[in-house]
Chain A
Amino acid sequence: LSSVPLQFLFYVNGIYYIFYFVATLAMIIYKSQVFSYPDDFLAPDLALLFIMAILEVLRLYLGSMGNLTEEEAPLGLSLVITVGSVILSVYFLVWQTYILKADVIINAVLLFTYGLESVLKVIAIAAFV
């Protein structure tokens, strides 16, 4: 049977990620105007944000599909992509050019969500196998 908490978490994650993406983009624009943000530092930050968005869409789609069709392969792939998302989130938490307090808060929430999701995915894979 599909895991209802996992599906719920995917749904919440999707909405939260939209907010996270818009907030991070807005804050990068704010930082580039207020602080000295040279182009060699701005380009990697923006690129990684867009890559993270693409990975997130892929991850949520695969995970949701895997959960609903009770297949373990898409769920496993989603788990692997989650690792990448976690690394990117840690980048935005620790290795970004300017880390504002708001950045710390939203990235911490995102990491917490990822952690919870990973646990539920492992349980779901174990149930489907």
Chain B
Amino acid sequence: PPETRGAARARTRSGPAPVTDVAKLCVCDLLVAQCDVNCCCDPDCSAADFSLFTTCSVPIVTGDSHLCSQKAAIYSLDVEANPPERIFKLIDQVNPSVFCIHATNYKQALSFNSPEMPTPENFDQLLKQFGSASFSAEPDSWRMNTDAQSPSDANETYRYEYGVPIQTADAFLRLPSPVVSSWCSDANPAGFLVNQATKCTRSVSVEKCGNIQAASMLFYINSSILAVPKSSQMVNITVQSIVVQSLNGMRTLLNGSDLLRLPMILDELCINIVLGVSYHITYTDAGEIIEAAASFVLGAINKEALSIQQSFEISFTQVNTKPVPLSGNPGYVVGLPLRAGFRPPGYPFPVEILFAALVLNTNKYSQLTILQSTSNQDCLAAQGARTPVLFGYNMISGCKLRITAAMKCHPLTQTLLDLLKGQSFPEYVASFGNSQAQDVLDWVPITHLHTSEQRIYNTFQSSCQIPVSLEIEVKWTKYGSLVNPQARIVNVTATITTTTAKQLPSGRERTIPITSSVVFTDISSPAEPGYKAWPTINAKLPFDFFFPFV
């Protein structure tokens, strides 16, 4: 009959009845029908087993200790007796506190809730309540709240935040990068304000010249960027410049770089393959992208090439600012170039008037640079090769100069000075890595010294003094807190050492070495930890304490 079946089903559905008798509760009884070691409350243990125990792992089983009086079962081992036997005592434990529970009219207060058994009727409700990652007491009202929020969000203005992927019309602005191996993966989105530079390898071949999407310019500029997330305002990617790299590595900048150059086959070479893309995104401080430009490096591959290495870069500039790369914030970071500049001509030097901005050289090679040694060590042939001075890296470089009899003194001196100092040797060096051009006091002037190589000074100065070495000594100190000291440049001295060049007889020639070096010296004074002064007891009598005697 269905009624008994239903009743039986209901009976089997309820969980086991909770055990509340302390005499029958045993937490250490884990093995069924076997004696657990050191478990004095185990009913499966006999007296012989008890005599082998050393301690009782469960000495007391009590009810809720908040109650004023509760039953407690105490188990202990009597080790004095021979053989040791277990003692079982059932006592009433009294809670002496005045805030013990005398009685309660709330049945569930003293035990845990038995969970509801799922039945076909309440299954859906239980699933809604407990089925997700967190239990919800009121599942329906929660869902209604989130629905109410999303239409109001649509009226808010969105903007890009740091790290948010830049959205395009169909997906995200891609910056291919190597994942796991060095092969390019096109799924890396570019993050807003995250300057990235990646290099990866792509497999190409001349046969598939026109078919490789990722090697053509169109792939990188055909999607337009959304100015703000989830909007319909688009920003097209313009082509800023195209550099063509020939097979032997020589790069030439193309004029009139508006044309789109697609890969095509020419003389058994596949030309106009994208070897590098550099995105420049201009943004406003409201988190909106207003301009996007891409510079390309196109190259060519021949029949033997199986893969090319592509390099990608993205940089962000705020609108109406000129980006100046910082060499540290605030102290110089080892390995970053020294920032240097000139005071522009025409500005007077009085102390009160605000100094005009120093002309900052953003071009790498106009900063403080020294001569770069080349493979052929001829000074005159290597004109123009300079390397920037990096903070913390002592450098020395040089070349050999061949002097012939035909060379005149003064032009030679001038050439050597140009060689050693470079075309635009700066006048000031920034003392901090993030010094602004407006704060002239943050800039250290370069001191120039001249020394002569010969110890004995010739009274006859008719012979030629030619500069043979330039030594730049940068003195820096640690500035700031003990735990995070910042490097600060205090002094920059450029020492030019000259030597006499004796007039050579005609036909003879001489080779003299020319050196230039940069040395960084740490002149920080040892740090002194500063402690707070001991507090003093300020015990002073009031002003008129001795009135009227004083």
Which residues of A come within 8 Å of B, CB atoms? 27, 30, 34-37, 41, 94-105
Establish whether residues A103 and B66, one from each chain, have CB atoms under 8 Å apart when the complex forms.
Answer: no
Residues of the B chain whose Cβ atoms lie less than 8 Å from the Cβ of A36: 108-109
Query: Taking the nearest CB of chain B, how far is it from the CB of A107, in angstroms?
Result: 11
B547 contacts partner chain A, Cβ-Cβ < 8 Å: no
Please provide the chain B residues from 92 to 122 with a CB less than 8 Å away from any CB of chain A in the complex.
97-106, 108-109
Which residues of B come within 8 Å of A, CB atoms? 66, 68, 97-106, 108-109
List the A residue with the shortest CB-CB distance to B97: A101
Residues of the B chain whose Cβ atoms lie less than 8 Å from the Cβ of A95: 105
Query: Taking the nearest CB of chain A, how far is it from the CB of B264, in angstroms?
Result: 78
Q: A27-B99, A35-B109 are in contact. Are A101 and B104 (CB under 8 A)?
A: no
Establish whether residues A99 and B103, one from each chain, have CB atoms under 8 Å apart when the complex forms.
Answer: yes
List the B residue with the shortest CB-CB distance to A100: B99
Residues of the B chain whose Cβ atoms lie less than 8 Å from the Cβ of A30: 99
Residue in contact with A98 in the complex, picked from B97, B104, B108, CB distance below 8 Å: B104
Establish whether residues B98 and A98, one from each chain, have CB atoms under 8 Å apart when the complex forms.
Answer: no
What's the Cα separation between A30 and B98 when bound, in Å? 13
Residues of the A chain whose Cβ atoms lie less than 8 Å from the Cβ of B109: 35-36, 97-98
Q: Can you offer 30 A-B residue contacts whose CB atoms are under 8 A?
A: A27-B99, A30-B99, A34-B66, A35-B101, A35-B109, A37-B106, A41-B106, A94-B103, A96-B105, A97-B104, A97-B105, A97-B106, A97-B109, A98-B101, A98-B104, A98-B105, A98-B106, A98-B109, A99-B101, A99-B103, A99-B104, A99-B105, A100-B98, A100-B101, A100-B102, A101-B98, A101-B99, A101-B102, A102-B98, A103-B102
Query: Taking the nearest CB of chain B, how far is it from the CB of A105, in angstroms?
Result: 7
Establish whether residues A100 and B100, one from each chain, have CB atoms under 8 Å apart when the complex forms.
Answer: yes
List the A residue with the shortest CB-CB distance to B103: A99
Residues of the B chain whose Cβ atoms lie less than 8 Å from the Cβ of A96: 105
Interface centre among A35, A96, A100 (most CB of B within 10 A): A100
List the B residue with the shortest CB-CB distance to A27: B99
Query: Taking the nearest CB of chain A, how far is it from the CB of B97, in angstroms?
Result: 8
List the B residue with the shortest CB-CB distance to A38: B106
Residues of the A chain whose Cβ atoms lie less than 8 Å from the Cβ of B68: 101
If A99-B103, A100-B98, A101-B98 are given as contacts, then 17 extra A-B residue pairs at C-beta distance below 8 Å, sorted by A number, are: A27-B99, A34-B66, A35-B101, A35-B109, A36-B108, A36-B109, A41-B106, A97-B105, A97-B106, A97-B109, A98-B104, A98-B105, A99-B101, A100-B102, A101-B97, A102-B98, A102-B99
What's the Cα separation between A128 and B396 when bound, in Å? 120
What's the Cα separation between A128 and B66 when bound, in Å? 51
What's the Cα separation between A102 and B102 when bound, in Å? 9
What's the Cα separation between A34 and B103 when bound, in Å? 15
List the B residue with the shortest CB-CB distance to A34: B66
Establish whether residues B98 and A35, one from each chain, have CB atoms under 8 Å apart when the complex forms.
Answer: no
Residues of the B chain whose Cβ atoms lie less than 8 Å from the Cβ of A100: 98-102
Query: Taking the nearest CB of chain A, how far is it from the CB of B64, in angstroms?
Result: 10
Establish whether residues A99 and B106, one from each chain, have CB atoms under 8 Å apart when the complex forms.
Answer: no
What's the Cα separation between A102 and B99 when bound, in Å? 6
Residues of the A chain whose Cβ atoms lie less than 8 Å from the Cβ of B104: 97-99
What's the Cα separation between A34 and B106 when bound, in Å? 15
Query: Taking the nearest CB of chain B, how far is it from the CB of A46, in angstroms?
Result: 15
What's the Cα separation between A36 and B98 when bound, in Å? 19
Query: Taking the nearest CB of chain A, how far is it from the CB of B109, in angstroms?
Result: 6
What's the Cα separation between A105 and B102 when bound, in Å? 11
Residues of the B chain whose Cβ atoms lie less than 8 Å from the Cβ of A101: 68, 97-100, 102
Query: Taking the nearest CB of chain A, how far is it from the CB of B344, in angstroms?
Result: 72
Query: Taking the nearest CB of chain A, how far is it from the CB of B108, in angstroms?
Result: 7
Residues of the A chain whose Cβ atoms lie less than 8 Å from the Cβ of B66: 34-35
List the B residue with the shortest CB-CB distance to A36: B109
Query: Taking the nearest CB of chain A, how far is it from the CB of B65, in angstroms?
Result: 12
What's the Cα separation between A104 and B103 when bound, in Å? 10
Establish whether residues B105 and A105, one from each chain, have CB atoms under 8 Å apart when the complex forms.
Answer: no
Query: Taking the nearest CB of chain A, how far is it from the CB of B113, in angstroms?
Result: 9
What's the Cα separation between A105 and B98 when bound, in Å? 9
Residues of the A chain whose Cβ atoms lie less than 8 Å from the Cβ of B97: 101
What's the Cα separation between A43 and B495 when bound, in Å? 89
Residues of the B chain whose Cβ atoms lie less than 8 Å from the Cβ of A27: 99
List the B residue with the shortest CB-CB distance to A30: B99
List the A residue with the shortest CB-CB distance to B99: A100
Residues of the B chain whose Cβ atoms lie less than 8 Å from the Cβ of A98: 101, 104-106, 109
What's the Cα separation between A100 and B68 when bound, in Å? 8
Query: Taking the nearest CB of chain A, how far is it from the CB of B88, in angstroms?
Result: 29
Residues of the B chain whose Cβ atoms lie less than 8 Å from the Cβ of A103: 102
Residues of the A chain whose Cβ atoms lie less than 8 Å from the Cβ of B103: 94, 99
Residues of the B chain whose Cβ atoms lie less than 8 Å from the Cβ of A105: 98
List the A residue with the shortest CB-CB distance to B112: A36
List the B residue with the shortest CB-CB distance to A98: B104
The 9 closest A-B pairs by CB, nearest first: A99-B103, A99-B102, A102-B98, A97-B106, A100-B99, A101-B102, A98-B104, A101-B98, A104-B102
What's the Cα separation between A96 and B98 when bound, in Å? 17
Residues of the B chain whose Cβ atoms lie less than 8 Å from the Cβ of A37: 106
